[in-house]
Amino acid sequence: MGWLVKLFRNYVFRRAIRAFITILIVVTITFFIVRLMPGNPIEIYIGQLMSQYGMTFQEAKNAAAALFSLDLDAPLFSQYLDYMKNLFRGDLGRSFVSQGVEVVDLIASYLPWTLFSVGISILLSFSIGIALGIVIAYKRGGLLDQIISGISTVLTSIPNYLLGIILLILLGVQLQLIPVSMMRGTVSPGMKPGFTWKFISDVFKHAALPILTYVLSTVGGWILSMRGSTLNTLGEDFVTVAKARGLPERRITFTYVGRNAILPLFTSLTMQIGFMMGGSALVEFIFVYKGVGWALWSSIGQRDYPVMQGVFLIITIAVIVANFMADLLYGKLDPRIKAGGSE
């Protein structure tokens, strides 16, 4: 019995249980919320058949009835129980729109591209952001501070999809530096996947603009946040003491100021890593980039419930896990905070 008590007192175990319950709640809410959207996949399919193939409503309805194995007239709760039963077996269902296509397979084909493009973007924008943030904090009030802060403010206020369109038009149409067709898609036609320099360079070429878009749209936020956090830290007593002790400026900057200033940003970073699983639907749409955001966008339009639920589940799990990791790692970064210490 004692081991059970020990187990329940264990911080990691309790967080795991909490995470599991949170996922269940979110999955349940998602299940019902997507069905609150007006219309359903059968109606949309019927509408498509009527407009694309000239069928009457009855013909289209008969065609749809033969096709959709899921009875959307069944009580919602029984549909929910079926879904949860399958979910516990790792079965996310099949796409309503693309018959026979497993949602797991769909997500597996799209997710790596999102992880790749958004992951690199987060790393780049965070690294550039904290570096520039520290620099302009040290040079606060100066010309460099004003220029970079100004640019950061502007970049942060421009929606990422608008930045994407601007880059596309500027680089592809106005300056004609890069063919527009090269800025689209994940790879060039005919490119065989493999660990070859040809394939890897092609992937990077195609990801360059989506990555640049993400970086430009987020780096401003990191710069301004790091600047503010650094200014706060510079005013702390321990920095004054460090300076008074005559420690090298470089050591003060990185070990004392930088390390403390970055702490508040760390939580935001981990949350962003979690949310990156959802990609950015609009950026992926503009660059025709085959990521999870693009899949989510098209599944919403077609009311492809299983795909939508699958994507939301991935995002939920990622955010919860990222949050959990943030809690654990925060304690390592800041000895004043012990994970689970307050519990």
Exactly one of 14, 19, 23, 62 binds other proteins (CB under 8 A); which one? 62
Smaller CB separation from other proteins, 112 or 331:
112
Q: Dig out the tokens for 235 from the structure.
A: 């005013």
Contact (CB, 8 A) for 303 and 40:
yes
| Interaction residues for other proteins, span 138-167 (CB under 8 A) | 165
67's CB contacts (< 8 A; 6+ apart) are: 45, 99
List the one residue from 27, 34, 60, 242 that touches other proteins (CB under 8 A): 60
- List 67, 81, 147, 337, residue binding other proteins (CB under 8 A): 67
Q: Which residue's CB is nearer to other proteins, number 186 or number 230?
A: 186
* Binder of other proteins out of 163, 223, 262, 286 (CB under 8 A): 286
* Shortest Cβ 276–other proteins spacing (Å): 19
First to last CA, the chain: 21
Q: How far is CA 250 from CA 140, 152, 247, 319, in A?
A: 18, 25, 8, 35
Choice from 24, 81, 180, 325 touching other proteins (CB under 8 A):
180
- How many Å apart are CA 263 and CA 93, to the nearest integer? 41
Q: Does 74 bind other proteins (CB under 8 A)?
A: no
Q: How many angstroms separate the CA atoms of 290 and 185, rounded?
A: 7
- Contacting residue, 28, 78, 86, 109, with other proteins by CB under 8 A: 109
Asked if 224 and 153 count as a contact pair (C-beta separation under 8 A), the reply is: yes
Site for other proteins in 33-52 (CB under 8 A): 37-39, 43-52
169 or 325: CB nearest other proteins: 169
Query: Total binding residues for other proteins by CB under 8 A?
Result: 64
102: β partners: 94
User: Using an 8 Å Cβ cutoff, are 205 and 114 in contact?
Assistant: no
Residue 152 CB partners (closer than 8 Å, separation 6+): 219, 220, 221, 223, 224
Query: Which residues, including other chains, have CB under 8 Å from residue 173's CB and lie 6 or more apart?
Result: 180
Q: Which region among 117-125, 235-243, 264-272, 284-292 touches other proteins (by CB under 8 A)?
A: 284-292
Counting contacts by CB under 8 A, is residue 22 touching other proteins? Answer: no
Q: Does the protein bind other proteins through residue 285 (CB under 8 A)? A: yes
Q: Where does this chain bind other proteins (CB under 8 A)?
A: 37-39, 43-63, 65-67, 69, 95, 97-101, 105-106, 109, 165, 168-169, 172-173, 176, 179-181, 184-190, 285-290, 294, 298, 301-303
